Amino acid sequence: MKYDYIVIGAGSAGAIVATRLSEDPNTSVLLLEAGQDFADIDGLPEEVKYGYMSTKSVWDSDHNWQYRARATDEAEIEIPRGKVTGGSSAINGQIFIRGIPEDYDNWADWGNDEWNFGKLVPYFNMVETDTTYQDDPGDFHGNSGPIICHRFPEDQWRQGNRVWMSAWRDSGHPFCEDHNMPGTTGVGPITLNNPNGIRWSTSIGYLGLSRHRLNLTIRPNVTVKRILFDSSGARPRATGVEAVSGDETFEVEGGEIILSAGAIGSPQILMLSGVGPSDHLSEHGINTVIDSPGVGQNLADHPLINMLWATKPEVDLTPFLPSAQLLVRYTAEGSPLENDMIVYLNAAAGMSRNRGGMRSGAEDMSAVVGLGASLGLNLALSKGEIRLRSADYRDYPYLNYNMLDHEEDRRRYRDGIRMIVDLEDHPAMAEIIEKRVYPEDSDLETDEALDRWMKRWVGTGHHVSCTAKMGPSSDPMAVVDQYGKVYGADGLRVVDASIMPECVRANINVTVLMIGERIAEFIKQGK
């Protein structure tokens, strides 16, 4: 059978694209997913179903690809990515915030004129049902979309978060009621997509709308080996995929192939299929179909460093309750980049996983000790790359995040860490804090000491992106045009975080959902 569309990856973007394209009953869509599929909420594994309420770790789950990456010469880190319908939206931290308008306006200024903020607002709104503003959504909130989001009201904040709010406000940071409103900064409640503690993924929100359709076929437990091309014409045309399910290898044809395997999986599949830097492909004996030097390059993410304070015995540190309820955005002193710093505040944080070795940034909730602050860096100047280890689809690629390579990244981080440490002298903080666990005083003595600590302990905000970026044809590193079409080929698009030209100043999941909606509409319009 030949399908009109084959979507590779049922994750944040792929589930949306498949759902929107299958709205036309005369269109056949095949959705391939390497992980399992769970048809209803009740059947979801605990670590996938629940966010803060889960007693099981998603880090060691079969529904996590469990990649590893070089962060710095001193740190190897875990890179969780979803291996289940819903993709990383099914295992993530449920933080549901948009980038700032300038992020998207920059994309447009760089030659992608369909992507300025004004054009994208309807697609952001289309994604969500924002229950905080459901009765009065205004211009910048949705009230009928498939993904449910909310903010914890102040009367539900935990003690530690109330203390954090006092310390940040008294240090001069404004209150931010809604981080998804344009032009905002400061400290305020995080928008979260976890109603009643359930992680509201695209598997629930989008495939819940579409999985019953006769023209949509969802095939879980299928790993794509490569995209197939017909190179007999003037340009190679994608005609199908070669895939594996269990012990069976098979080929399936499609009128258009849509690659939505994520910012790690998509460039890997492209390179295995002969689309990528020709010199690198030849190292692994892969015939070049399209010489595309940008595939796997320009890797962006948000570095993240955790800070921890032990609190006094009377402070409530009950695990498996809402804990990360507040967020801070601010501009680093001396930086020309608005809101280039972000801090996730936590009322009940634990020792970071595998302290002294592999760093993940996750908290071990069985060892909660006190208040946590996770300092993130937006628009990091240090960029990484993805390279193949071999031509075998089963071999994970080599991931080099190259964090903190640029001095300006290190400077902004040093200043941010010292600023947050100074908050411990605030009366409300001092009243509940017993001691600072890390960084230690010795780590703060000199810039050199702090750099050493940061390079050892830096992790990731889990926002890998930009590894197959969109841009005009004049950009030699652009892999796709602004409609997601792969340069040099017909019948092939990429629709996921990899096509972002630059990472946004926010957690990226909402932006990826918007990308799915936006390009699905382009496809329907014949663009």
Active-site residues: which are they? 463
Name the amino acid, one letter, at 198: I
Cβ neighbours around 451 below 10 Å, total: 17
Asked if 479 and 499 touch (Cβ cutoff 8 Å), the reply is yes
Residue pair 209/218 in contact by the 8 Å Cβ criterion: no
Strand segments (E) across 312-360: 326-330, 341-352
Sort 368 into a burial class: Cβ within 10 Å, 0-12 / 13-18 / 19+: buried
Rg (CA), the chain: 22
Beta strand spans in 353-506 (E): 363-377, 385-387, 398-400, 433-438, 459-460, 492-494
Instruction: Tell which residue, 73, 80, 46, has the closest CA to residue 361.
Output: 80
186's enclosing H/E stretch is strand 186-189
Evaluate the omega torsion of the peptide bond into residue 439 and state whether it is cis, within 30 degrees of 0. Answer: yes
Cβ burial 156-195 (10 Å sphere, 16+ → b, else e): ebbbbbbbbbbbbeeeebeebebbbeeebbbbbbbbbbbe
- What 8-state DSSP symbol labels residue 106? H
- Backbone conformation region of residue 291, classed left if phi is above 0, alpha if psi is from -120 to 50, else beta: beta
111 burial type by CB count under 10 A (0-12 exposed, 13-18 middle, 19+ buried): middle
458 vs 376: CA distance, rounded Å:
10
User: Residue 2 pairs with which residues in a beta bridge?
Assistant: 253
Task: Round to whole Å and give the CA distance between 409 and 399.
Answer: 20
DSSP strands (E only) in 475-527: 492-494
The amino acid that residue 444 corresponds to is: L
Residues 6+ apart with CB under 8 A from 65: 79, 80, 81, 82, 83, 264, 396
Q: Between 509-524 and 14-21, two packed helices, what is the crossing angle to 10 degrees?
A: 30
Residue with token string 């690198």: 280
